[in-house]
């Protein structure tokens, strides 16, 4: 895969990326060490943290048009712990520079803080005024709230109003947080209540993968995200879903740096997808769900 998307063209969309800047590597490594659990992160220097110019060159080489970066400033949780999720997300100031210097290559998934009441809802509404804010992302384990918790409903309503998707980590937590709140079945009531909001269950809902697939099968507004696992480790249920009933319901994501882009893309051929299924997985479904994504991408300049 070495096609340069270039101006006026389209390409692969990674629908879930943590901040890739070099200064986040220490934070990420510290989080893993503090948790004391085995989380594999790619150490290939050509597939790891880097500066923006290097990431754009890597994207051009691999045929990646756009990265969707979770974005927030450090909130209450982050101030209490240097290894909270806030710290691995991009900052709003960083994203404003990236979006301005590299139009179309980097876009934001705004991260809501559900403990902030209407102040937080108003902030997220204001963030959506930026065209490069294409949706929301929720690390629900940080808050130990199920996906149908009342604190999330105002944000689901915002997504319905602005026609942007709401992605969330479903399944177990990668760190030492409670995992029960990540059960994919938690999206059942929100999907009924907000039929116009598109929900993306990221991380494949693992280990409740079939539960996540069941939600995507049941609801036209629920989708499956592949983030955090390289294709070689996707379950047979996920592979069958992509090839069959989920061929327009699955979105490619890496959850970088958990999975590097070179690492992930080198294994796509192993899935044995048709050209149509592959195109849907890598780009087309993302563009139908994230309808604010730019149709074109250009390399731009350095920040």
- Which structure tokens are listed for 262? 């070179």
18 within 8 A of 24, measured Cβ to Cβ: yes
11 within 8 A of 72, measured Cβ to Cβ: no
In a domain, 209, yes or no: yes
66 within 8 A of 14, measured Cβ to Cβ: yes
How many residues comprise the chain?
303
- Which structure tokens are listed for 140? 């629900």
In a domain, 7, yes or no: no
In a domain, 297, yes or no: no
Looking at residue 107, which CATH number applies to its domain? 3.20.20.140
Binned at pLDDT 50, 70 and 90, residue 31 comes out as confident
Cα distances from 82 to residues 32, 38, 60, 85, 274, in angstroms, run 12, 19, 33, 9, 44
CA 126 vs. chain centroid, Å, equals 21
Distance between CA atoms of residues 70 and 67, nearest Å: 10
The whole-number pLDDT of residue 4 equals 42
**Structural domain that includes position 224:** 12-289
CA gyration radius, the chain:
17
Cα distances from 298 to residues 69, 108, 167, 287, in angstroms, run 17, 17, 26, 17
Split into its structural domains, the chain has a count of 1
- Which structure tokens are listed for 122? 């108003």
Helix (H) or strand (E) holding 67: strand 64-71
Pair type for strands 166-169 and 133-138: parallel
Residues 6 or more apart whose CB falls under 8 angstroms from that of 49 comprise: 20, 21, 22, 24, 25, 28, 257
Distance between CA atoms of residues 181 and 168, nearest Å: 11
pLDDT at 261 over 70: yes
> What is the reported pTM?
0.92
Distance between CA atoms of residues 111 and 90, nearest Å: 10
In a domain, 298, yes or no: no
21 within 8 A of 91, measured Cβ to Cβ: no
Average pLDDT along the chain? 91
**Segment among 20-34, 88-102, 127-141, 212-226 with least mean pLDDT:** 20-34
Q: In the chain, what percentage of residues exceed pLDDT 70? A: 87
Cα distances from 105 to residues 39, 92, 168, 277, in angstroms, run 28, 16, 22, 23
In a domain, 303, yes or no: no
In a domain, 6, yes or no: no
The whole-number pLDDT of residue 174 equals 79
In a domain, 3, yes or no: no
pLDDT digits (tens, 9 = 90+) for 65-103: 999 999 999 876 656 666 678 889 999 999 999 999 999
Distance between CA atoms of residues 106 and 95, nearest Å: 8
Average pLDDT score over residue span 56-61: 98
In a domain, 300, yes or no: no
Average pLDDT score over residue span 225-245: 97
């Amino acid at each position: 895969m070495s096609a340069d998307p270039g101006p006026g063209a389209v390409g692969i969309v990674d629908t879930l990326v943590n901040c890739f800047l070099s200064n986040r590597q220490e934070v990420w490594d510290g989080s893993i060490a503090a948790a004391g659990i085995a989380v594999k992160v790619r150490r290939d220097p050509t597939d790891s943290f880097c500066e923006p110019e290097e990431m754009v060159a890597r994207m051009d080489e691999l045929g990646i048009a756009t990265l969707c970066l979770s974005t927030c400033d450090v909130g209450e949780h982050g101030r209490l712990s240097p290894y909270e999720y806030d710290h691995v997300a991009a900052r709003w100031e960083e994203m404003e520079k990236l979006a301005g210097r590299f139009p179309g290559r980097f876009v934001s998934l705004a991260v809501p803080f559900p403990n902030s009441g209407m102040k937080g809802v108003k902030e997220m509404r204001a963030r959506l005024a930026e065209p490069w804010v294409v949706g929301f992302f929720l690390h629900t384990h940080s808050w130990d709230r199920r996906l149908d918790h009342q604190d999330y409903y105002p944000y689901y309503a915002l997504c319905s109003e602005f026609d942007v998707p709401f992605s969330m980590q479903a399944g177990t937590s990668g760190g030492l947080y409670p995992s029960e709140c990540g059960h994919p079945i938690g999206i059942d009531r929100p999907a009924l209540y907000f039929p116009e909001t598109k929900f993306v269950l990221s991380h494949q809902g693992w280990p409740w993968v079939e539960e996540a697939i069941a939600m995507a099968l049941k609801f036209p507004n629920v989708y499956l995200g592949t983030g955090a696992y390289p294709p070689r480790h996707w379950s047979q249920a996920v592979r069958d879903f992509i090839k069959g009933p989920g061929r327009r319901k699955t979105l490619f994501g890496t959850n970088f740096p958990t999975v590097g882009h070179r690492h992930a893309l080198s294994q796509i051929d192993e899935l044995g997808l048709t050209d149509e299924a592959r195109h849907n997985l890598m780009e087309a479904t993302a563009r139908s769900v994230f309808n604010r994504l730019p149709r074109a991408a250009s390399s731009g300049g350095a920040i």
